[in-house]
A and B are shown apart, each in its own frame.
Chain A
């Protein structure tokens, strides 16, 4: 489903050049649950941004669902982000002025879904993450774990091909972290493909496959043997 070939990423700032990724080759199949690990500056977040069509690779090809997205323009990029990708961020990134259900409706708003259907699908998604009752609250009125669940509901709501999570437990206590990982495992069992960046080894153990970045290259790509939470 994801096929990355020879991807390089070079940041240019005036005369300064910084290569963040070197010739990355990477594949993700349907229903996989991948954790990407690495120290800060290893290129893992850059890689996730390219996977999420938030950023372009400097060279190489990226095929998502059979479409070569590395040749696609910005406007189409927005559409791909909207239809094929669901994001979950470390800082939740909910809009504070909108209610929880309105936050979940946002991707459908940009996807042109009719208001009535939007509300129904948003409620379904919130129920899937166990938050069917607090929909009229604003993000400031709920806990961090609940915020991240809202963010997951928002990521799910357009039925994307893949969910990309960037340190989803980074701002959470251990109890909430476990809850979030349980939700991810549940979704993965239902057939949702997930790629997650984390720097916590025990969190990575909830996934099925571990990919480790160092200095812009993949140094390890192994299945998880003793999965947690299963």
Chain B
């Protein structure tokens, strides 16, 4: 009996009891599936954070005021002092405001406004424009009432998918009790998932801001040039961690505060996000590892039952000339077929799961060669580990004894 025949017989044997085979595989599905799902999502998440910050650069940093009382907000003087630091490339204030607009049906929709300097687009965030332009220094100086809108705004509020024809349209934005008309000068790509649902987009609408010059925002709010947040960039060659710490100390000192200003660099954010992801991966892998061991014990259990059930068959085969080695191989192959198939299916389930979950959070699931190797490797190892004992039990059966088995 050669290897091919043993494998064929193994499949035949497993197919002859489909229900049991499936139930035995369940534990492996869950174990391998969970690991692959989290690894695949983790890889996608890392990729996502990397591309997210690649537009900005690792030296970019963000300043936030915790207490946003008027006297604690950032002023033009603060910016002058920060800009004077030799390591600082640039720094600029920005303001985030909630507002609302009416759609074509006359319903109110929440939106957000992001007010910034024109320089923001060149040194902090590079918008991917689908039509039109971003505002310029000149727009900023004249406090022009212009806005760069997200593509989903055009889709959901203007009912317009031809972004070019949206340029030049006027929209009315309400902030507090003031309403102002803005001219659309550009449409940017808000990078929504391709298959995102309508509900998802509606929710995203209030998150994807309309960009307006910071000087223009002063007209509709009472900010008086004070801002609650700022963006800046650190010159190349300096340690973002150290410089952001210096900026933090400086701001707290200037406002006589202990800890009212958060200064975070993109590098910090990536590090924190990756750390968190690694923790989650480790935790889920540990849980999945337990599930794999439990699944393996289940497989061993079933294989032992199979050996018991097939004692007479083993006796007959031995009487007809099957060696212990051939019998051992037969049962080991059955365990391996069971675990490798279960591992492969588990991998596919995990990958599909990660595509579904990733789709909800705009993360592209990744299935790397390493993950495939992991799935096949783990399932082979489990098959060998938990299959060898039952196979050994089968191989060492005495022919005379096993022929007597009813």
| Chain A residues at the B interface, C-beta cutoff of 8 Å | 49, 52, 54-55, 74-75, 78-79, 81-83, 87, 89, 93-95, 97, 106-107, 109-112, 154, 158
Contact = CB atoms under 8 A, between A and B. Distances in A.
24 contacts: A52-B319, A54-B318, A54-B319, A54-B400, A55-B398, A55-B400, A75-B324, A75-B325, A78-B322, A78-B324, A79-B323, A81-B318, A81-B319, A81-B320, A81-B321, A87-B320, A93-B403, A95-B317, A106-B317, A106-B320, A107-B321, A109-B5, A110-B322, A112-B2
B312 interface: yes
Contacts of B321: 78-79, 81-83, 107, 110-111, 158
Given A54-B400, A95-B313, A82 B324 contact: no
A89 B312 CA distance: 13
B312 to A, nearest CB: 7
Contacts of B12: 97
Contacts of B313: 95
Nearest to B406: A91
B359 interface: no
A95 B322 CA distance: 14
Contacts of A75: 323-325
A93 B385 CA distance: 32
B393 to A, nearest CB: 16
A110 B1 contact: yes
Contacts of B326: 110
B22 to A, nearest CB: 19
Cβ-closest 6 pairs across A and B? A82-B321, A110-B321, A78-B323, A107-B320, A54-B399, A93-B316
B198 interface: no
B122 interface: no
A55 B318 CA distance: 12
A93 B312 CA distance: 8
Interface residues of B, number: 23
B1 A97 contact: no
B16 interface: yes
A110 B320 CA distance: 8
Contacts of A107: 320-321
Nearest to B321: A82
Contacts of B2: 112
A22 B63 CA distance: 99
Nearest to A106: B320
A154 B324 CA distance: 21
Interface string B248-271: 000000000000000000000000
Interface of B: 1-2, 5, 12, 16, 312-313, 315-326, 398-400, 403
A104 B400 CA distance: 21
A79 B318 CA distance: 10
Contacts of A82: 320-321
A110 B317 contact: yes
B316 A95 contact: yes
Contacts of A52: 319
Contacts of A111: 321
Contacts of B319: 52, 54, 81, 87, 93
Contact of B16 (A54, A87, A97, A158): A97
A150 B82 CA distance: 97
Given A79-B323, A81-B319, A93-B403, 4 more contacts: A55-B399, A93-B315, A97-B16, A109-B5
Contact of A49 (B5, B323, B400): B400
A93 B315 CA distance: 9
A26 to B, nearest CB: 19
Contacts of A106: 317, 320
Contacts of A79: 321, 323
A145 B382 CA distance: 46
B16 to A, nearest CB: 6
A201 B322 CA distance: 34
A52 to B, nearest CB: 7
Contacts of A83: 321
Contacts of A55: 398-400
A126 B403 CA distance: 24
A90 to B, nearest CB: 10
Contacts of B1: 109-110, 112
B9 to A, nearest CB: 9
A95 B320 CA distance: 12
A87 B2 CA distance: 23
Contacts of B16: 97
Nearest to A96: B313
A22 B313 CA distance: 32
Nearest to B326: A110
A75 B316 CA distance: 16
A99 to B, nearest CB: 12
B114 to A, nearest CB: 71
Contacts of B312: 93
B319 to A, nearest CB: 5
A74 B403 contact: no
A126 to B, nearest CB: 16
Nearest to A92: B316
A52 B325 CA distance: 20
B193 to A, nearest CB: 51
Contact of B403 (A89, A154, A158): A89
